[in-house]
Each structure stands twice: as C-alpha cells, then as structure tokens.
Amino acid sequence: MNKRPLGKLGFAFVLFGGTGDLAKRKILPALFAAHRDGMLEPACRIVAVAQPMLARTDYLDLIGEPVKANVQGPVDVVAWDSFVERVSYIGGDLSDADVFARLAEDLRPLTGSNVFYLATGPSLFVPVCRALAASGLSEGAKLVLEKPLGHDLESSRAINDEVGRIFREDQIFRIDHYLGKEAVQNLLALRFGNSMFEPLWRREWIESIQITVAEELGVEGRGNFYDQTGALRDMIQNHLLQLLSIIAMEPPHSMEADAVRDEKLRVLRALVPLDDETVARNVVRGQYQSGTIHGAPVPEYQAEAGVGQGSDTETFVALKVEISNWRWSGVPFFLRTGKRLGGKTAEIIVNFRGVPHSALGTLPSRPGANRLTIKLQPEESIRLSTLAKMPGLGMELRGVNLDMVSDGLPHLTAMEAYQRLLLDVMAGRLALFVRRDEQEAAWQWVAPILSDWSKRHNPPKQYRSGTWGPPASSALLARHNTCWHEEA
C-alpha cells in the first residue's frame, strides 16, 4: 500500500484501469487540469487501481509523460508536483478480494462520497461492483461506467440489472464525453437561450441535419477489441444517437437532470423503427482498405494486428434516420462515422431550407447555403453560413460565415470535455450522463441493423484509406438532393 500525507482527507477518486490508455490520455489529464485550474477540491485524493504490481513511484513514472502530453494547456513543475501528491496506487488482479480489502483500508479515513471510475472492459463492471459492495464501499458512492456497456440490448440489460442491484440509478454516471464538449453546451445555449432560433428549429425551416464523427486513425493496436465491436456499436449506438437526441429534443422545463434526460428519451423513442427493407435502403457499412494518410501508406483493416482473417467488421457506417413527431416529421437526419477517413472531424450540420422565391436573380445552388455548423473537433466552434452581396455593381451573392463562439469570447479557454464531466460527477450533477432507459432505447433502435447484418452475411463495402468512405454513402444523400459537408 502506498500512503503519503495530504492533510485533511475528504473523498477519493478511485480509477480502476489506472494504467490503461484511457486513463493516461483522458482521465488523468482532465484531473490534472482541474487541479491546476483550482477546480479540484483540496480534500480529493486520487487512487489508481490496476493489475501490475508497481510501487507508487514507478506508477508516477509510468503515467508522467503520457499524461503531460495530453493535458490541455500548460504543465508547470509546481502544479504537477502538487497534483501527484494526491495520487496513490494499488496493484493487483481485480478478481482478487485482497485488492479490495487494501482499497477499503486505504479509504477508511475518508468521510466524503467516493467516486469509482471503471475505465475497464465491460466484463469487469459487474465483478468490480460486487467486490465494492462486499468490501462495504458502495454505500453512498458514485459509479462512473465507460462505454461500451454491453454488446447488444440483452447484454446491456444484464449489466444494468446487476449493477442496479448494488448502486441506485442516481449513483450511476454512464459517461459519454461528447455531451461534455463546449460546442454541445453552446448548442443548448443557442437553442434555449435565444428566441430567434427556436421558431426555426423545426421541419418547416430545416431541410436536413448531418452528424459526422470521422477519424484518420485506424484501430491503433486495439484490433482484438474493435473486431468484436465495430463502428455501429462503438460510435452510433452511443455518441451519435446522443448528439441526435440533444439536437432534436423539445425544450426541457429546466436543466435539472431528469428534465433534460426525459426529453432526450422522447426523441430516441420517436426514431422510426427499421426493418430488413429499410436497413438495406438506409444503412451503408464499409471497411477500410489500404491507402495513404498525410502521404504515408497505411494497411487495410484486415491486416491490422488482432483482426480476424476475413473479418466483416464494419469500420464505417452511414445511415439515414427519421423522427416520427410533430417537430421533425419528414426531416432526414444523416449520421456518419468511420476510421481512416479523409480528415479528423466531429461536426453537426443543420441545413436550412432555401428561400421559396428569389428576387435577387440566381442564388448559389449548393446545399446548405444557409447552414449552421457545430464543430466538436479538432477545434470547437459554432458557425452560421449565410449569403451576402459581393461589393460592386449588380447583385452577385456569395457565402459568408458568422462565427458565433470564438469571436464573442476570444479570451476564454474552453474546458475539455472529460474535465467538465468529472467535475460534474464529483458534484453529483447527472444531466450530462446517460440514463438507463436512454441507453436501452438506443440499443433497441440499432438492434434490427445488427440482426440484418448477421442474417444477410453481406460483406461491408470497401473504401480506400484517406477517402470519405464508400460511394454508397454519397449516394444515400444524393437521393435526397444533398451531399455530405466536407472541408478536409
């Protein structure tokens, strides 16, 4: 056990999987940024738990460089030294009761509400929760669960049932870091804080909406995991459907957690169900082949380490989604995600309808002349695209952009998504976390896609690395007289 003085002790942030990639790239950098910015309570300890038997000093050496490399903003020596004073480490197999006995002894002096973050595979969620309960650590604690929570609706329900026997729903924080992004928060502010947008946020004025999350990276050494998961489970079922529900939900009566989540759930339950015919027509799946990214050659998916020979796992999905309610009936939502694509971006595109008649001559005919772009990565911004007159004689129009975030608040640095969400966990704020019924509604909607793919045994369509996916993805939108927004 690694003990060190920290003054008055209050509560612990316990990170299971503390040596993993997620811990080093996201969670620990977010905790450091909160500490550096004075937002982490002085009485908060950080206890990492993982399988390797390491001394505390060896653990700090292990995480030091990767954590510093992934911190948003400066890392000075004083801030880092004071941060690691909070950190201790417990090594051992998570199936070993002795690990939890040592953890319980380490946390015994604490009187606050501990946070247990499970940055592990879903197969460990239930065993760890049972061990926490057996060690007397679950009472009054907060539990953070990473995705994927199960492999399908049945396995998701099984995990939720078992975890729910130990932790109440208001103790469980199912994290989706896209909901913590500044641009998503600004989308809520844009919709519900400005009277000018609400009358336009409906089928009469919006022609279509696109949600794209594109990566240039491949599976990056996670072939074993990804080959059992695929893009539909990894991205569509959670991130993209959550973003869709935020975009399409009705105004909540307040920002209280269940008020927001009730409205998101109504959207998920209003998604038009799919069947074999509509899956074949409205869903495109693909798998990347060899190609080039930034001029460097990259291998095909099936040549990646850990990927099974002849695998038909999809690395790309594009689909058309419809919402059957008064506000959105008839408006297509196009969702797209993939690996080894032509750029790294995450964005929401709201294409407004064109004017019914032009008194100004010929208007630009491209889709999205009036467009709202909510950029989530690589930078976060909200931009409104409109038409304006070019200087000079005549009435020639061109597109102009109004930046609605960075121009107005140039001196402020956006908080990284994980930092915001971890602080919300510690404060017990649930609004930006996924409730069980939301999660299961999303699984229920994607179930026919998974079923159809397993029955038809049609291989995914091929696309060359460095492009924007199979041609069928573009054809899906062309049938609706529109196209994907692509800047990269």
The pLDDT profile of the chain, 488 residues, written as one tens digit per residue, is 444 444 445 899 999 999 999 999 999 999 999 999 999 999 999 999 999 999 999 999 999 999 999 998 889 999 999 999 999 999 999 999 999 999 999 999 898 899 999 999 889 999 999 999 999 999 999 999 998 888 999 999 999 999 999 999 999 999 999 999 888 888 888 888 888 888 899 999 999 999 999 999 999 888 898 999 999 999 999 999 999 999 999 999 999 999 999 999 999 999 999 998 999 999 999 999 999 999 999 999 999 999 999 999 999 999 999 999 999 999 999 999 999 999 999 999 999 987 776 666 665 555 557 889 999 888 888 888 877 777 877 777 777 778 876 555 544 566 889 999 999 999 999 999 999 999 999 999 999 999 999 988 789 999 999 999 999 999 999 999 899 988 64
DSSP of 270-311: HBPPP-HHHHHHHEEEEEEESEEETTEEE--GGGSTTPPTT-
Q: How far is CA 93 from the centre of its chain?
A: 29
**What would the pLDDT profile of 6-29 be if each residue is shown by its tens digit?**
444 589 999 999 999 999 999 999
* Residue 337 and residue 316 in contact, taking contact as beta carbons nearer than 8 Å: yes
In a domain, 466, yes or no: yes
7 burial via Cβ count (<10 Å: 0-12, 13-18, 19+): exposed
CA–CA separation, 308 and 274 (whole Å): 29
User: Is 230 in the same domain as 94?
Assistant: no
CA–CA separation, 186 and 67 (whole Å): 28
- Classify 149 as helix, strand or coil: coil
User: Is 89 in the same domain as 198?
Assistant: no
User: Is 192 in the same domain as 47?
Assistant: no
Pair type for strands 397-403 and 206-214: unpaired
Q: What is the domain range of residue 238?
A: 179-414+461-478
User: Is 238 in the same domain as 384?
Assistant: yes
Closest CA to 142 of 370, 423, 418, 335: 423
Q: What is the CATH number of the domain that holds 299?
A: 3.30.360.10
In a domain, 188, yes or no: yes
* Residue 473 and residue 214 in contact, taking contact as beta carbons nearer than 8 Å: no
User: Is 270 in the same domain as 323?
Assistant: yes
- The structure tokens listed for 136 are 């007397």
User: Is 116 in the same domain as 259?
Assistant: no
Pair type for strands 142-145 and 115-118: parallel
Number of domains in the chain: 2
In a domain, 310, yes or no: yes
In a domain, 168, yes or no: no
Residues 6+ apart with CB under 8 A from 390: 396, 397, 398
In a domain, 172, yes or no: no
Q: List the alpha helices (DSSP H) in 351-399.
A: none
Phi, psi of 284 (to 5 degrees): -120, 130
Residue with tokens 């095909």: 300
User: Is 112 in the same domain as 232?
Assistant: no
- The structure tokens listed for 421 are 């969400």
- The structure tokens listed for 288 are 């990347």
Kindly list the distances between the CA atom of residue 332 and the CA atoms of 132, 374, 428, in Å, as whole numbers in the listed order: 45, 18, 36
User: Is 105 in the same domain as 197?
Assistant: no
- The DSSP call for residue 191 is H
In a domain, 166, yes or no: no
pLDDT in the model for residue 339: 97
- The DSSP call for residue 179 is G
In a domain, 323, yes or no: yes
Q: What is the CATH number of the domain that holds 110?
A: 3.40.50.720
Q: How far is CA 404 from the centre of its chain?
A: 23
User: Is 348 in the same domain as 281?
Assistant: yes
Q: Which of 105, 128, 146 is the last residue of a domain?
A: 146
- The DSSP call for residue 434 is B
- Ramachandran region, residue 65 (left: φ > 0; alpha: ψ -120 to 50; beta: rest): alpha
Please tell me the pTM assigned to this model: 0.91
* Residue 396 and residue 389 in contact, taking contact as beta carbons nearer than 8 Å: yes
Q: Which of 91, 123, 146 is the last residue of a domain?
A: 146
Q: Which of 128, 146, 164 is the last residue of a domain?
A: 146
User: Is 219 in the same domain as 307?
Assistant: yes
- Classify 406 as helix, strand or coil: coil
User: Is 364 in the same domain as 227?
Assistant: yes
User: Is 136 in the same domain as 200?
Assistant: no
- The residue type found at 269 is R
Instruction: Give the residue numbers annotated as catalytic, written as ranges.
Output: 239
In a domain, 299, yes or no: yes
